[in-house]
Amino acid sequence: MSLHASSQPESSAPRESWKMSIGQGTTMTDTRVGNDAVGGYGESGNAAVAGADDSVVDRSDLANTANRDRYCITVVSAGVSEHSATGRLGDAVALGVQETLHRHGRECELHHIDLKDFATDIAVAAVNYQLTDALRGILDQVTSSDALIAATPVFKASYSGLFKSFWDIVDVNAIVNAPVALVATGGSRRHALVPDTAMRSLFAFLRAIPTPTSLLASGEDWGTEALESRQHRTSCELAAMVMSGLRESMTMADADAKAVHNEGAQIPVR
């Protein structure tokens, strides 16, 4: 399936008949039921996540991680309808990442999280700090992924409330140095800068590393060569960041900066 074909306007087809797959039968996986993994308010997320705790960094382990040949990419979509345009645009980018990794001999497992399926859990967690098992499960999926694709519809010139509420309950250190692609959909091109203003600043606060190219699709963009080209560039950039071991390298840089800082040097740390 081409990226162009996967970026068409919304369809009424049921979700099960819509699952996209590419290369060796790999299928986008919906994440609906979680486990008991830790993540969220005041917690360190997944202790195995780069940058998620203050333990000493084992450089040999990081090198092994950077050179492995299987990765996990997760789409986090705040689309509000079944088979939403927002979710499909995020999935199209994910499929592009998978295609690129396959060309370089790497395996790639794709996951898709629809935040609307957890809207009640997110709202409750936002006011009483209590996480359900299902919400812990998707938080663990997010924090343990090698890269993320964050996708939101644009409402009133910014990301949606559901999108923001979810990232509000993600631990502040959970996705440090994680590569992330910024994807949005809007009613018109007036919203074109939302990924590079509202979204990029949010992930800068979380100390994730967004791809240089962001992506917004408005009504007139669907099916155009321009959208497909930008979509492809975003996918290639995210794949390159994953294959280069960027997260692991930046984690080593953080550890070195912290070591110097702890020795008394007045060097600001990220």
- Which amino acid is present at 5? A
Q: Is residue 265 part of a domain?
A: no
Q: Is residue 268 part of a domain?
A: no
- Which amino acid is present at 35? N
Tens digits of per-residue pLDDT, 167-182?
999 999 999 999 999 9
Predicted pLDDT of residue 38? 31
Tens digits of per-residue pLDDT, 189-200?
888 899 999 999
Tens digits of per-residue pLDDT, 27-56?
466 654 333 333 333 333 332 333 334 434
The domain tally of the chain equals: 1
Range of the domain at 240: 70-250
Q: Is residue 175 part of a domain?
A: yes
CATH of the domain at 118: 3.40.50.360
What's the Rg (C-alpha) of the chain?
Answer: 18
Per-residue burial over 63-100, b if 16 or more Cβ lie within 10 Å, else e, is eebbeeeebbbbbbbbbbeebbbbbbbbbbbbbbbbbb
199 CB-near residues (< 8 Å, 6+ apart): 150, 152, 159, 182, 184, 210, 214
Q: Is residue 219 part of a domain?
A: yes
Helices (H), the chain: 59-66, 85-103, 119-128, 133-143, 161-169, 200-205, 225-243, 246-262
Q: Is residue 36 part of a domain?
A: no
